[in-house]
Amino acid sequence: MTSPAYLDSPFLRACRRETVAHTPIWFMRQAGRYMPEYRAIKERATFLEMCRTPDLAVEVTLQPIRALGVDAAILFSDILITLAAMGVTVDFNPGPHIPDPIRTRAQVDALRTPKPEESVPFVLEALRRLRKELPAHIPLIGFCGAPWTLACYATEGGGGKEPVRMKRLCYEDPTTAALLLDKLTDMNAAYLVAQIEAGAQAVQIFDTWAQLLHVADYDRWALPYVERMIKKVREATAAHSPAPVIIYFARESGALLPHVAHATADVVSVDWRVPLDTARRVLGGAIALQGNLDPWALFAPWDELRRHADEVLVRAGNQPGHIFNLGHGILQETPVDNVRRLVEYVHERTAAR
Amino acid sequence: MTSPAYLDSPFLRACRRETVAHTPIWFMRQAGRYMPEYRAIKERATFLEMCRTPDLAVEVTLQPIRALGVDAAILFSDILITLAAMGVTVDFNPGPHIPDPIRTRAQVDALRTPKPEESVPFVLEALRRLRKELPAHIPLIGFCGAPWTLACYATEGGGGKEPVRMKRLCYEDPTTAALLLDKLTDMNAAYLVAQIEAGAQAVQIFDTWAQLLHVADYDRWALPYVERMIKKVREATAAHSPAPVIIYFARESGALLPHVAHATADVVSVDWRVPLDTARRVLGGAIALQGNLDPWALFAPWDELRRHADEVLVRAGNQPGHIFNLGHGILQETPVDNVRRLVEYVHERTAAR
């Protein structure tokens, strides 16, 4: 019996720091409003309906695979899906909105940590169908939010501004803050395991709001929970061979980077502000790097965009262990043609090496 | 004739990396809504009226000197005052709003660079009066926005979200972007010189939106203009002895720090996310450091706040050239008692050394 082609794909090989035929490329939020195919579906369903209806989630996940030629598929969903499963009301209008944010010990106590199979079956169903419908050579990525980042959303309530309530909770009531983070860790570790069992070969943990923290607070309130989550996922999926890949994305600008290595992820996804050669030097050679084009470079004329892409490739260096991506999610008005052309360019330029 | 006491103040001595009797402390946005005295004035005047009425600007600048015991006064004003002077309509409701943002070459061409004495006489009048009314041992700080940051506001129009238009202008029409930055540099360099002549012993350049840029873009679109601004200010104020102090605050998280040194400021004000010992190592010993308590730590119970303050002091090290401050502006709902207590604590703890 031969193993599935996706296990030997450039994306998974690069995550394992093996040699590749070309540098793999995908985009955070590669399914989204910048694509006409996506907007056509969005017209007849809300964002949450799209997340919760396997037919729609599968279709939208496949769109960028067909249209862009990227090297990996990432499940169409949202990190707040698990918050909703824990009993928190979550709306999108269009940004996330939590009408009754978590502020008290009683609210934290009331949070449930239900089994993913029972609370988010639609996600697992979408992953199972995606693994069947995707081309055999395309790996599938699942994801969740990091405990710190989810806690920021849960306590803030949304509104688009920088969330600030979680920091206050940490300072004023550290016991409640830790309990909230514990529950989020348990729920989301189980969620990642379920995603892997349902068909994901890699999972990415999004820590968007790590950028709010200074180093000492990151070491206390963010890092240990990510570390514990990763440990749980590795233990629960120890029978898989090759082991599922774990990617950690901490949106920040360099100060936290030496600490990010301790999260023990296989791949660190780097914010666009930290040059990849700096990241390589700080993180060492045992971690693959993902990133890190400035999402705004995709709005530039091609010559300028190519210059930015070259800068990323040169700083990544001519060595295994680089997955080309953005330094943050793709933006709404991004011109699709630039995205497609960038995928081709990265493939062609790195195949020549 | 003896020189004024403020020239030998802990603040200016620390900026010059001389020994001090205690570590000086002041706060970015130390005059603001968290103070009841400020809110009393705000009830009868809009923010812009306060900036443009010397009586009110002077009064509000003096409030934190009386109430908190800080070591320096900073003019009450806003970095967008010079944009308004250049012909851009600027409102505050309460965040900055620019109804007709700069997007075209014609708009940039139409921007004026009038003499500060003619276009912002109220600022210079406030500074002259402040220098007379302030206690003789309290130095006075003026300020302006960095060209990149002002360009971000001018092109975006406001709204509270991350400004993104300026990056697009840089990529799509670099000539117009550079012309806009040139004009902002000229206008604000002249503005700083006028502030120094009117009575400021130090000036701070705020580069809040440096954090949007990756290193290569910072080196092209932000740093050269700050450098040129500082050069112009130094040349125009060469007759002053001691030389006026120039402080540069780039809100960012570490990736840009090695480049920030090239701005040639006397003092670098450090974002709360970069530990001061890291900043010291990266910037070298010839630059004084200002900062960098997390503004949210001021909401913590005293023991926790003291732990954060100790962390800043320990990382600053037992050496000259540290001005205690926040890593960003003071927040609206900050408890005044914590601010006052922190000032006392920093003074007492560092006097014992």
Whether residue A124 has pLDDT greater than 70: yes
Minimum Cα–Cα distance from A327: chain B residue: B214
Whether residue A161 has pLDDT greater than 80: no
As a whole number of Å, the end-to-end CA separation of chain A is 33
pLDDT at A335: 96
Cα A328 to Cα B209: distance, rounded to the nearest angstrom: 17
pLDDT grade, residue B206 (50/70/90)? very high
Does the predicted TM-score (pTM) go above 0.90? Answer: yes
Whether residue B352 has pLDDT greater than 70: no
Whether residue B300 has pLDDT greater than 90: yes
Contact B168/A311, CB-based, under 8 Å? no
Q: Is A92 exposed, middle or buried (0-12, 13-18, 19+ CB in 10 A)?
A: middle
- Tokens coding A183: 């529950």
Contact A253/B273, CB-based, under 8 Å? yes
Contact B253/A275, CB-based, under 8 Å? no
Out of B252, B301, B311, the one facing A216 most closely (by C-beta) is B311
- A212-238 average pLDDT score: 96
pLDDT at A290: 98
Whether residue B1 has pLDDT greater than 70: no
What's the mean per-residue pLDDT of chain A? 95
CATH code of the domain covering residue B248: 3.20.20.210
- Using an 8 Å CB-CB cutoff, list residues of chain A that contact chain B: 160-161, 164, 167-168, 171-172, 211, 213-217, 252-257, 272-275, 278, 294, 296-297, 299-301, 304, 311, 327, 331
pLDDT at A324: 98
pLDDT at B244: 98
pLDDT at B94: 79
- Tokens coding A333: 């008005």
Residue B269: which domain range? Answer: 5-351
pLDDT grade, residue A352 (50/70/90)? low
pLDDT at A104: 95
Contact B172/A300, CB-based, under 8 Å? yes
| B270 interaction partners in chain A (CB closer than 8 Å) | none
Q: How many CB pairs under 8 A join A and B?
A: 88
pLDDT at A160: 64
pLDDT at A353: 64
Percentage of residues in chain B having pLDDT higher than 70: 98
How many angstroms separate the CA of residue A303 from the nearest CA in chain B? Answer: 10
Minimum Cα–Cα distance from B167: chain A residue: A296
Picking from A35-39, A163-167, B313-317, which range would have the lowest pLDDT averaged per residue?
A163-167
Minimum Cα–Cα distance from A160: chain B residue: B161
What's the mean per-residue pLDDT of chain B? 95
pLDDT at A255: 87
The interface pTM score, or ipTM, of the predicted complex is 0.88
Contact B273/A296, CB-based, under 8 Å? no
pLDDT tens readout for residues B166-189: 999 999 899 999 999 999 999 999
How many structural domains comprise chain B? 1
pLDDT grade, residue B145 (50/70/90)? very high
